[in-house]
Amino acid sequence: MIRLNNVKKVYPTRFGDRMVLDGISFELSKGERLGILGRNGAGKSTMVRLISGAERPTSGTVERHMSVSWPLAFGGAFQAFLTGRDNVRFISRIYGQDFERNLEFVEQFSELGQYLEEPVRTYSSGMRARLAFAVSMIIEFDCFLIDEISAVGDARFHDRCNFELFEKRSDRAMVIISHDPGHIRDHCSRWAILNNGRFTEFDDFDVAYGAYKEIMGVADRSLVAADSSFLDSVRNRSHLLEYSYRKAGIDDRFRALVDEAEFARSRAEWTRAHDDWKAAERSYAAALAIYPFERSYWLVLGHAIKEQGNLIGAEICYRTAVAFGQPAQDVAVHLEFVIEQQGLDPRDYPLRRFSRASLPEQVPGKPDIELLSYIFWGTALVADDECFRFLREKSSIDHVAQAMVLDDRYLSQYARAIGAADEEVAQVSVESDHSDQRLDYILAIFFTGLNGPARESLCPKLGRPSDILREILERDLLHDWVLTKSAITSAGYESTRQ
């Protein structure tokens, strides 16, 4: 049995003491498996080190009445200048075990062959992980501590690790930490959440996971709330980009989607399979739907789309990446390639770079096209063909808006805005997914300088795209959009104003 009694851990930092674990108590008996969920930096690894005895609590006690392993698959205890074999010998000596028998097991399990005679510093990370896992299995502990079993190594090795650990040693106690809730669900019998130094236990995974998601969600919302003053004051693209960057970096949903996408991409780069690129595209697109200004992902999304043979789609992504400030030299080669593949001369269709101009003078990206289309045409769905022509031909957001106003679709949207036409039906239903996000951006871009209450009272009036257009026209919010303004005037808005 392992027992933690009111364990506290405080780390001194330059900004004062930081309480990582604040009075944690629990017991773990033989055969029980405890899974711990928590955000990054919640103190999970600290807890594992305290249980292992490698680190001491600031106060409270850790009792161990069974043998406890070091954190598993952890390869740091290897002396890099020694051979794999000498490292096995060292561990055997420390634990008073039969070296020859252990070496035999490690040879057979790690499949490192004669590399065992080479210094560990010459190993690849995969080989190191194989040796680390094999060495972890030679000492038969009563309780295993598992801190993020990494996915290093191929699938077969992974299966063998799982078999060795969870099947052959199913009678042992375990403490498992993972950022992957599925892993914890499958291998544990008890669950706990570590949050703000507090430890909460659950007997049921679904309850635990529900609480975990709530913690993540609540935390995210509180961050957004704290930051909304910033969004209120976004006046130009630079602010918007910075805001998006800060927010995306701490949003676990975004990070999860990006991880998923990177995984699919690395596989696709290996297999070159259409389906894998498709999977990468889907995940990147989903991530960008939440944070459309994360420019570097437009670049990789472009690659994923290009690999599937969609040159126009790729061009849209590349142009968007540059419009949002991705360095042009990262993108130029790819864009030129895509344009050449279309049978055109890249010199006729130059790249437009991001500049720190006011919003109407900014180079448009795909999300801008969609946003403007939503306002001026009543739908955020813009066909690739149309979108890419805007991006190629229009040098500023003002140009795009002007072209949209001069299109017939604007007239029907305008009619809806002034109540002279039937309400739009079809368009709205398509728009459910990220409408909150979109409204935030619209408020940030057009309705700047609103204080909290004014904003609150405005939001309900902006339910439909035509409402937004009406508010924009009535408040004359496009006064510095020179081209758009003149187009609106010539389209006859002034005459209906009286």
Partner 1 sequence: MALPVNENPSLLDSLRVQRRVLGALFMREALTRYGRHNIGFLWLFVEPMIFTLGVTALWTATNSIHGSGLPIVAFAITGYSSVLLWRNMPGRCIGSLLHNLSLLYHRNIKILDIFLARIMLEFGGATISFFVLSLVFISLGLLDPPEDILEVAGGWLIIAWIGSALAIWLGAMSHENELVDKIWHPFSYLLFPLSGAAFMVDALPKAAQSVILYIPIVHGVEIVREGYFGTKARAHFDLSYVLPFCLVITFLALFEVRKVAAKVVPG
Q: Which residues bind partner 1 (CB under 8 A)?
A: 11, 49, 52-56, 64-68, 70-71, 74, 76-77, 79, 81-82, 86, 89-91, 93-96, 139-142, 172
- Distance of alpha carbon 80 from alpha carbon 99, whole angstroms: 19
Cβ distance to partner 1 smaller for residue 141 or 277: 141
Secondary structure letter of residue 364 according to DSSP = P
Compute the least distance from the CB of residue 456 to partner 1, in Å.
47
Cβ distance to partner 1 smaller for residue 75 or 292: 75
- Structure-block tokens of residue 209: 């996971």
Rg of the chain (C-alpha set):
29
DSSP per-residue string spanning 279-305: HHHHHHHHHHHH-TT-HHHHHHHHHHH
- Structure-block tokens of residue 335: 């864009």
Compute the least distance from the CB of residue 295 to partner 1, in Å.
36
Compute the least distance from the CB of residue 84 to partner 1, in Å.
13
Mapped onto helix, strand or coil, the DSSP state of residue 463 is: coil
Q: Which long-range contacts (CB under 8 A, 24 or more apart) does 256-265 make?
A: 257/283, 257/284, 257/286, 257/287, 257/290, 258/283, 258/284, 258/287, 258/297, 261/287, 261/297, 261/300, 265/300, 265/303, 265/304
Cβ distance to partner 1 smaller for residue 64 or 409: 64
Cβ distance to partner 1 smaller for residue 53 or 419: 53
- Structure-block tokens of residue 10: 């405080």
Per the listing, tokens 């650990």 go with 165
Compute the least distance from the CB of residue 197 to partner 1, in Å.
17
Compute the least distance from the CB of residue 120 to partner 1, in Å.
11
Cβ distance to partner 1 smaller for residue 137 or 478: 137
- Distance of alpha carbon 287 from alpha carbon 289, whole angstroms: 5
Cβ distance to partner 1 smaller for residue 75 or 367: 75
Compute the least distance from the CB of residue 370 to partner 1, in Å.
48
Compute the least distance from the CB of residue 194 to partner 1, in Å.
18
Cβ distance to partner 1 smaller for residue 11 or 163: 11
Helix axes 435-446, 366-376, angle to 10 degrees: 90
